[in-house]
Structures are given as C-alpha cells and as structure tokens.
Structure 1
Amino acid sequence: MKLFGVLADTQGCGWYRMIMPFTEVARRNPGWRLYLDGLMPDRVDGIDVLVAQRTCLPEPSATFQRHCREGAVRTVLELDDDLWSLDPANRAAVKFYTPELLENLRRNVELADVVTTTTEPLAEVLRQMNPNVVVLPNMIPKWLLHHDRPVTNGRVTLGWAGGPGHSRDFGEMAAPVRRLLQHPRFRDEAEFHMIGGPDWTDRVSSPRSTTRHTGWFPNVEDLYRALDFDLGLAPLRPTPFNDAKSDVKLLEYAALGIPAIASDTGPYQRAEAAGALALLCRTARDWAAALEALVNDAEARDRMGKEAREWAATRSIETNAHLWESAYGAK
C-alpha cells in the first residue's frame, strides 16, 4: 500500500491532519509506503491513495481534479476549516481565499472520492458538496499524557497560544484577564503568558501586572514542551467559522493536565458534552468569576487537570489511527 499526502503547511494544521496520522499509520503498517510532500504529484503511478490537504491553488487543483476524473488513484480531500465562512476581521485569510480559490476548493471537494474533516458541523457543510465525508477528530500523541510541563516562577500562569487570525477571539477574555492581573489581590500571584504572535500582551497588561510573550516554535512538539500554563484559556467568538472548528485547544491543555477556561461556544460545548472538563463562559462577568475562582483554588486546578487528562487519553493518535486507515480505504 502506498499513500501520498500533499501538505498545505508543516505547522498546526499539517501536524494534526497529516504528519501525525501518517506517521502513526506508517508505524502500525511497516510494509506500507507513506510519503508527504508540499507538491501535488503530476503522475500517480504506483500510488494507491492520494490525500490533498486544503488544496485550492489553480495548478495543483487542476492536477488533483484530473486524478479524480481519471480514477487511477483513490483521492481524498482533507479540510479542517469552513473557509467559506471566514470572519471578515481575519483580513489575511479573507484576502488569500479569493472567490476563485474557494471555487477551486469547492470543486476539489466535489470530485474527491472521500473528504476527511474534523467536526460534524464542518462535515454538514461539506456534505452539501460531496456525500462521502468522514469525521476524523484531531488527536494528540500519547507521550503528551505523561509529559510534565515546565515549572514556572511561583505565580499562577494564565496562558494562551495562537496567531493573528484570533484577534477578536482574544478580545473575549482580554478585559477580565487585565482586571485580574492588576487587582491588588492577584497582581503578585498571577501572570499571563502568551505564545505565538503578534504579541498581544499589551491588551491585558498594566503597570502593576506581569506578562510574558514567547514567539512561534518551529514545530508543534516544541510548542507542547513550552506550555507552562497553570490555567489554559480558550476564547472563541460565536461565529459560523468558529462553530465548525475543532476542540484541539482544550485537547492540548487536557493532555498536559492543564485546567481550562473556555468560551461557551461550538467546539468547547461539544467537548464538554463528550467528557472534557472546563469552565465555560458566555460573558465578561463569567470570565472574571472563573478566573478568580481557579486562581484562588490550587486544589480545584489540580483536580480539573487530572480529570481533563483522563478525557484526553481517549483521543491519542495511537488509539485512533485505525480511523484514518479506514477513511483512506486501506482497511
């Protein structure tokens, strides 16, 4: 069996949707040949399954569609975001995903033998284009469940990691976090650590508060090892785009035993229903109350972290790689 995967990137999406599952499938099946590349192959001689991640540019789309029509290889289109529902505030993404590229993507979804995705709401969007959609939730590597996160400086570290597309999401928690950090009761007990970019610590800082910023890491495993949070924050605005997103932020926290406060919306509601443990917030007042409660209570943080890790143990790639094998038609 030969599988060829076309990567859209080598960061978070590429890691969760292609690199990690392909690596585990290869480990489970020593006789298989698995390849990952950033370029769409022009020829598919000897390839049994071709997996294209988020393909939408004109040339690779035309090649993928040709492979779909010729039928010489099983074609899989992998997509983990509802790119037809982008938030207008995410200007870089809106500028990149032009109507022409979105039409290419729609056609690629339509012609693929199977479409793989992360969540049921996103699957419902994709089934309007192709009835053969398989939901493969994001997973974590099992080693993360036994990894001890770094010890911080004695303060309770409130943490968040993310990129420029989450500016408005960050705003869901910014004011409550800032108020807590500058409050006389907490300014010497709590700090805020942001990982990623751009640096938004100024949105939660004040002259009397403590904040830190760490830039991007070259790979996701390095990010895992840098998460020194005592309390993980997961803000998301209630939008159609966010509703279709996965619960991967909570999953990362849970795998490391980090208790979490999250927005009471889409993916985190579904995660809680599936057994995840987090405090869910709808309003700034909810965020303020949750932050104060958990900063004040080390025992509660410890208990929540342990219970969250139990949930995350059900979501390791080692336990669930067979789902990818089945979706690819290999078993």
Structure 2
Amino acid sequence: MLRIFSVLSDYQGVGWYRSIVPGVALANRGHSVRLEPGLPKQLPPGTDVLVGGRLCLPGPSLNFQRHCRAGDVFTVLELDDDLWSLDPSNRRAVDFYTPDLLDNARRCVEMADLVTTTTPVLAERLSAWNRNVVVLPNCVPGWLLHLERTVTDNGRITIGWAGGASHARDWGEINKPLRRVLLHPANRDRAELHMIGGPDWTDRIRTPRTTVRHTGWFEWVVDYYLALDFDIGLAPLRETAFNWAKSDVKLLEYSALGIPAIVSDTGPYRATGRHLAAFRASTPRQWEELLRELLDAEDGRRAFGAHAREWAISRTIENNVQLWESAYSAR
C-alpha cells in the first residue's frame, strides 16, 4: 500500500483530472491518498509519495524542493501544460506566470524524483530538465460513461463548446463557419449554439436570426458534466506550440457522454493519426461542411456518438489506474 499526499492545484479541470480522479481510483485500490489544497511544512507521518501539481509560487515551490533534497519521500512533479509556451493572447496566464514563477516551476521539474504529464509531446519537452518523465493520460471516471446526457427540450439541435479564457483565439477558428451554418435558412429554426465557460463569446455568433445561449462555469465538475446537453461537440485549437502539448480531454468528455465531435486537425488530435472518435477539420470550409453533415444526420450522430463512447472506455481511470501505481511505486 502506498501512502500518497497530493497537492491540489484547484478543484476544477486540472485538480479534477490530475489529482481527484486518479486519487479516488488509487484509494479504491487500497492505497492511502490524502488530497489537500496546500503543501504543509510537515507531511503526515509515513508518507511515501508527495505529488505536487503546477508548483510555482515561492512558498510551495521551496517546500517541495526541500523534500526533493532531503529524500524523505518520493517526489512527483505533475504538470499538464507547457507553461513556457503560453500564447500571448492568454493575458491572464501570461501576466501570472512571471519569469520568476516559471523559474520556480522549472527548478521543481529538475529536482523531482519523477515528472508526470499528459502527452508525449509535453513529456519530450520536460525531459530536457528531468530524465525521469512518465505520461499518465487524462482519464474520466467510469461512471461518466453511464451518465445519461442532458437533453434540452426545445426542439433544436444543440451545437456546443466548453472552455476557458485561454481559448479566445482557438474559438476564432470557427466563428465564421459556425455563424454561416446557423444563419442558413434550413438551420435557423432547428439549430442553436450553447457555449459553456467563458468569457461569453456568443456575441461573435449572435444575430437576430441565430439562437445562442451561454452558461458560466460551475463550482463542481459533476454539475458541468450535467450541463453538457450538446448534440454536436466542438473542440477547436489553433496551430501553436502550447496547443500541441495539450491533451485530448475535451474530446474525451464529449465521447464519454456519447456526443459526436468535430476537432481541429492539430495538436493532440493530429498526433494520434486518424482519430477513432472525432471528425477533424483544418479549414473553415471543412468545419462548415462537417457541421452541415452532422446536422442533417440524426441517425449518424447517434451512431457515431455510440462509437465515441466505446472508445472512451479505454480512457476510464479504472482501466488506467495501474499506470499511476506503477509510476508512484518506481522509487
């Protein structure tokens, strides 16, 4: 049995997928797992493994590095984004991750006994600072595949997107083709856009003849899952170094709920070759054509959604928790 202390970066996306979901699965396998929002000066007696997520602030970083030097526990630095390749348009992140904070994060990577991350691309970049890097892919809890997707009873086909402020320019990839599709006479009364997250960019699509709605973020991830009432899911990504290191978690969420998806032909979606659970688009025309095709094919949407859900079985935490066990046991 491993005794694991995991530092939560938050309770939403990063904290959920990189700490809470694997932590619960490890606990269900008999390990002792403690999830805390901060790193105390003294760890609980008998701790075997210390997992630090996105450590960069001076206090937690120095505390983590102290354990690295002392060798009193097996130290794991968990990182799911390439913080050194942030897109300039993501001003909130660029302003937060100052050169000093990035240096703190880099030193934690260098000093950790093990670095865990989400994709081979990010693992290769981090391996320049630490030779012991392991890919632990983002996974969903198995119960999500059995969650009945919410259906909005308004008679419309819901085209949906979910994401945060860092996707401003990604969203720009589909503004025009999406607006053209929604404005088409055949779609004005049968299709709508539902955007979850924010900021609210529905003004980029809204016209007197389009139906759009926005839902803000949720405090609890389960409430977010329940809000995904999409009939067609969108996952646009621009061609950037930051996006190439990202994971396919958005597609994974859609697939687990049986939502057919259109994704950009870049980053994690191109890296896997011909993806078994998504339609890929690389031009505005392709986005428009695929949207029209899925809007016109109710049976096709249902069949492809079921196919995507089958793929998502391979990415449940229950089918992958042994990867975390193996990584954390490699002391």
Shorter-chain TM-score bucket reads: over 0.9
Q: Determine the structure 2 residue equivalent to 1:139.
A: 139
Deviations 1:176-199 (A, max 9, x none): 111111111111110000011111
* Displacement of 1:270: 3.1
CA distance in 2, matches of 1:146, 1:68: 41
| Distance of aligned partners of 1:271 and 1:222 in 2 relative to their CA distance in 1, 3 Å threshold | farther
Aligned residue type for 2:11: T
Q: Tell me the TM-score normalised to structure 1 length.
A: 0.97
The Cα of 1:213 is off from its aligned counterpart by 0.8
What residue is the counterpart of 1:307 in the other structure? 307
Per-residue Cα deviation, 1:49-98 (whole angstroms, up to 9, x for no partner) = 00000001111111111110110110000000000000000000000001
Q: How far has the Cα of 1:15 moved from its partner?
A: 0.1
SS of residue paired to 1:315:
coil
TM-score (norm 2): 0.97
Counterpart position of 2:262: 261
Question: How many residue pairs align between the two structures?
Answer: 328
In structure 2, the partner of 1:39 is 38
Q: Which residue does 2:319 correspond to in 1? A: 319
Cα deviation for residue 226 of structure 1 reads 1.0
1:174 equivalent to 2:196? Answer: no
Deviations 1:96-142 (A, max 9, x none): 00111111100000000000000000000000000100100000111
Q: What is the SS of the residue equivalent to 1:172?
A: coil
Distance in 2 separating the partners of 1:52 and 1:284: 40
Equivalent residue number for residue 88 of structure 1: 88
- The 1-side partners of 2:134 and 2:235 are apart by 26
| In 2: Cα distance, 1:48 partner to 1:276 partner | 39
The more displaced of 96-105 and 299-308 is: 299-308
Separation in structure 2 between the aligned mates of residue 27 and residue 292 of structure 1, nearest angstrom: 44
Counting aligned pairs with the same residue, the percent is 61
Q: Which amino acid in the other structure matches residue 244 of structure 1?
A: A
The whole-number CA distance in structure 1 between the counterparts of 2:144 and 2:277 is: 18
Which amino acid in 2 is paired with 1:196? G
Q: 1:217 to 1:27 in 2, by over 3 A?
A: same
1:155 counterpart = 2:120 = no
Partner SS state of residue 116, structure 1: strand
Q: Rate the CA distance shift 1:222–1:330 in 2: closer, same or farther, 3 A.
A: farther
Aligned-partner SS, 2:161:
strand
Displacement of 1:330: 6.9
Distance 2:131 2:235 in 1: 32
Q: 2-side partners of 1:100 and 1:330: how far apart?
A: 31
- The offset of 1:34, in angstroms, is 1.2
Secondary structure at 2:192 match in 1 = strand
- Structure 1 residues without counterparts, runs of 5 or longer: none
Secondary structure in structure 2 of the residue aligned to 1:309: helix
Query: Structure 1 residues 330 and 129, CA, compared in 2 at 3 Å: closer, same or farther?
Result: closer
Alignment of 1:237-256 (within 5 A): 237-256=238-257
> Per-residue displacement from partner, 1:302-326 (whole Å, max 9, x unpaired)?
1211111111011101111111111
Letter in 2 for 1:205: R
